[in-house]
Structure 1
Amino acid sequence: MKRCSMNYTFNYDVSVILVNYNGKKYIDALFDSLIRLEHDDFTFEVVFVDNNSSDGSVEYLKQNYKDKCNLNIVETGENKGFAGGNNAGVAASSGRYVVLLNNDTAVDPKWLTNLYHFMQKHPECGMANSKLLFFYDFIKLTFETSDKVILNKEIRINGKEYTIDSKFCKNLLYEPDQLVCFGHTEISVPLIEGLESQSDYQFEFEVKSAPAGSKIKCETESVEAQSGKVLLELDNSKIQEFRYSLIQNAGSGINQDYDGFDIGFCEKDSEKYQKSYELTNGCGASIMMLREDFDKAGCFDERFFMYYEDTDLSLRIRKLGKKILFCPDSIVRHIHTGSSKEWSPFFTYHVYRNKLLMIGKNVSKKAYWKYFLQQYYLGIRHRDPMKRKGTMDSLKILRGNNDVHYEAQ
């Protein structure tokens, strides 16, 4: 595991570390939000770590944001992953506090000042976790039907194609090419024009079949669900009345099988997420620590590359006698899995490998071998080479072979 420097020269109160790999498409939304940050009583810098991108990210950043946010660009020359990239960023930083922030985000104007003041008020806190909301707000669709309404999964929102996402659906059959919706079905649809838009909205559905009298509803508004193309139109006043935010992460946890999870995932941002509470582990998409605590804990273990590295670090922060706390008024908008697609081969490999690394390092040998055998069996049963490789590579790494990495099959 990387040894971290303990020699400090603090030129700023806070260093915001951003790790980028081919994330040029996220730069404008992120940096436009960083420029609007409120910071009357503290100073901050932005350390942008580029992991050898090939999409022109660094050139674009220099052309458009070179003189903004006290920008410090670090080019690693290789893809060091989330763990290695953040270690490089922290090493190049000069803030008393460090904040790790995903590049596929946009932050609220008070995001950083609320996080900073939270840490000031809670000296027992070794890691503060922001509230992560999905990037767009949503409206809720429901159905009135005597049986079921069958929809095409592809809809159009203000003329733009959108595939309804299963994680934003409740109580329906999510089939390969269609949605089977019932009277208790709920679908959250994103308002893709953005948070500041004053646009009216038109939602176009293709109804494959529906009993007579069926309706697609949004609160008090509705449209007849007849076979063919159906339009639901909402003016801006209705959009403002009906819109809501969904939680992506209100802190992280580990279940009894050591699977990591996001607290509040896909729940409405409600009163229970307006107060602070203690966490088992933090989410690396937006966390603040004292630079000294980050170094004392041993920095990120770069063998993880990405996924579970924040859990591993969290457990080591707690071993310092510090708490991990949720900061509810530090708000970040996050494009979930912006850097890698959920359950892609890359994602699968690292999740299966790194769960076992985390268990092997922090729990026990007995637990490690239990889940090693379970995971390898699943890899065979599912005929998934990435599950098998990830499982086996965890053993190689724990036995001291660090030249182990993802390979496309």
Structure 2
Amino acid sequence: MLDLSIVTINFNTSNATIACVKSIIEKTTLLNYEIVVIDNASERDDYLNLENEIKNLNLENLKLVRSNLNTGFGTGNMIGYAETSPSKYVTFINNDVELIDDCFSVLKQYLDQNPDVGVVSPQSVNEQLDFVPTIDHFASWQREIFTRKILEIVNPKRFPKRKKSYTKPIEADFIAGSFMFLRREDFDTIGGFDQNIFLYYEETDLSRRLKAIGKKTVLIPTIQYKHFHGLSTKKSIAIKLEQKLSLIYVVNKHQGWLASKVLLIYFGIKYFFSTLVSPKKWPLFKATLVGMPMFLSLKHKQKIKEI
């Protein structure tokens, strides 16, 4: 059996994907692993570039799978997961990530020694190797209304500081979705990613479900990975709306109908006044008027692409 299956998604950023794959190959020397790359309906030129580069690497443990529909983060990873071979561990890693050291072997050892931990991650740093917050507090109506900073001040034990640089492993609500290392058994037990979510909050949902089966989420700050943020997802009102749709969905799922309605009213008031200053935010306010239903998601606007 393999030690590790690594899944990553490409979406119109083939050069970043190849750099990610090469960093894995270079740094991962102690484990028996495979890499599955999912192309999430990239444009033809980008996919062909990716296909050609992967062929040139000519590795038996590297597989490319083409989806002709952009299925988003969770479903894209589940497509990749379905293509993996049996392994004890699985990692979901963004394609805009590059390894700095052999972090997989450290993460494996930590999970081997800590059966009560469900998902772990190294510390994220940016292109200049500067610290980037990697832990966070569960998506909730409290976090949105009172802010993270207030929660950390009021209850620092429950809400450890996100922007603090830690030197020892620390338990958190969830870690950044750009790098998640889990036991295959635990991932299967919770049913994998929630495929109703197209983008955003998949990691908070995942860690909540792991917590429900008694599994912790832990950051290992003694190892790092480089994350080139936002290469495939550009900021826009459509992306902002997608983020809020996912948030309302996750809050409703884990905190209940009333909590999601409180948050919806809060956003309605917030975006009403925002549109007075910035009319381009009208779609956000309009979405609150109809309850921010998931049928507004970008998931339902994707079109099939052939190679």
Residue 40 (structure 2) aligned to one of 41, 51, 57: 51
Question: 1:250 corresponds to which residue?
Answer: 134
The gaps in structure 1 that reach 5 residues or longer are 1-10, 138-244, 398-402
TM-score by length of 2: 0.82
Question: 1:226 corresponds to which residue?
Answer: none
The gaps in structure 2 that reach 5 residues or longer are 149-159, 276-280, 303-307
Identity of aligned residues (%): 24
Residue 358 (structure 1) aligned to one of 247, 250, 255: 250
Q: Is 1:372 aligned to 2:264, yes or no?
A: yes
Paired residues of 2:101 and 2:223 also in contact (CA < 8 A) = no
Question: 2:83 corresponds to which residue?
Answer: 92
Paired residues of 2:118 and 2:215 also in contact (CA < 8 A) = yes
Paired residues of 1:297 and 1:316 also in contact (CA < 8 A) = yes
Q: How far off its partner does 1:395 sit?
A: 4.9
Question: 1:338 corresponds to which residue?
Answer: 231
Distance 1:88 1:300, change over 3 A: same
Paired residues of 2:4 and 2:89 also in contact (CA < 8 A) = yes
Q: How far off its partner does 1:132 sit?
A: 0.7
Give me the whole-angstrom Cα distance separating, in 2, the residues matched to 1:78 and 1:91.
16
Give me the whole-angstrom Cα distance separating, in 2, the residues matched to 1:73 and 1:371.
40
Paired residues of 1:348 and 1:386 also in contact (CA < 8 A) = no
Question: 1:72 corresponds to which residue?
Answer: 63
Question: 1:152 corresponds to which residue?
Answer: none
**Amino acid across the alignment from 2:99:** V
Q: How far off its partner does 1:290 sit?
A: 1.1
Q: How far off its partner does 1:392 sit?
A: 5.8
Distance 1:59 1:329, change over 3 A: farther
Distance 1:376 1:321, change over 3 A: same
Q: How far off its partner does 1:352 sit?
A: 1.2
Give me the whole-angstrom Cα distance separating, in 1, the residues matched to 2:271 and 2:250.
19
Deviations 1:338-388 (A, max 9, x none): 22234x213211221111111100012221111111112222221213423
**Amino acid across the alignment from 1:68:** L
Paired residues of 2:271 and 2:285 also in contact (CA < 8 A) = yes
Distance 1:106 1:393, change over 3 A: farther
Q: Map 1:258-337 to 2 at 5 A.
A: 258-259=143-144, 264-265=162-163, 272-337=165-230
Q: How far off its partner does 1:390 sit?
A: 4.9
Give me the whole-angstrom Cα distance separating, in 2, the residues matched to 1:87 and 1:393.
30
Give me the whole-angstrom Cα distance separating, in 2, the residues matched to 1:102 and 1:88.
15
Deviations 1:124-150 (A, max 9, x none): 111112211012x2xxxxxxxxxxxxx
Deviations 1:39-81 (A, max 9, x none): 32x3111110111100534322332233237111121210001
Paired residues of 2:125 and 2:132 also in contact (CA < 8 A) = yes
Give me the whole-angstrom Cα distance separating, in 2, the residues matched to 1:377 and 1:285.
32
TM-score by length of 1: 0.63
**Amino acid across the alignment from 2:82:** A
What secondary structure, in the 3-state scheme, does the structure 2 residue paired with 1:56 have?
Answer: helix
What secondary structure, in the 3-state scheme, does the structure 1 residue paired with 2:111 have?
Answer: helix
Paired residues of 2:10 and 2:17 also in contact (CA < 8 A) = no
Paired residues of 1:130 and 1:329 also in contact (CA < 8 A) = yes
What secondary structure, in the 3-state scheme, does the structure 2 residue paired with 1:315 have?
Answer: helix
Distance 1:297 1:378, change over 3 A: same
Q: Select the structure with the greater relative contact order (CA < 8 A; seq sep ≥ 6).
A: 2
Distance 1:55 1:276, change over 3 A: farther
Q: How far off its partner does 1:296 sit?
A: 1.4
Give me the whole-angstrom Cα distance separating, in 1, the residues matched to 2:82 and 2:234.
29
Give me the whole-angstrom Cα distance separating, in 2, the residues matched to 1:71 and 1:50.
13
Give me the whole-angstrom Cα distance separating, in 1, the residues matched to 2:2 and 2:206.
24
Q: How far off its partner does 1:33 sit?
A: 0.9
Q: Is 1:19 aligned to 2:19, yes or no?
A: no
Give me the whole-angstrom Cα distance separating, in 2, the residues matched to 1:394 and 1:256.
15
Q: How far off its partner does 1:329 sit?
A: 3.0
Distance 1:378 1:296, change over 3 A: same
Give me the whole-angstrom Cα distance separating, in 2, the residues matched to 1:371 and 1:360.
10
Paired residues of 2:119 and 2:216 also in contact (CA < 8 A) = yes
Paired residues of 2:245 and 2:297 also in contact (CA < 8 A) = no
Distance 1:51 1:113, change over 3 A: same
What secondary structure, in the 3-state scheme, does the structure 1 residue paired with 2:41 have?
Answer: coil
Give me the whole-angstrom Cα distance separating, in 2, the residues matched to 1:317 and 1:123.
12
Q: How far off its partner does 1:313 sit?
A: 1.2
Q: Map 1:175-186 to 2 at 5 A.
A: none
What secondary structure, in the 3-state scheme, does the structure 1 residue paired with 2:226 have?
Answer: strand
The alignment covers a number of residue pairs equal to 278
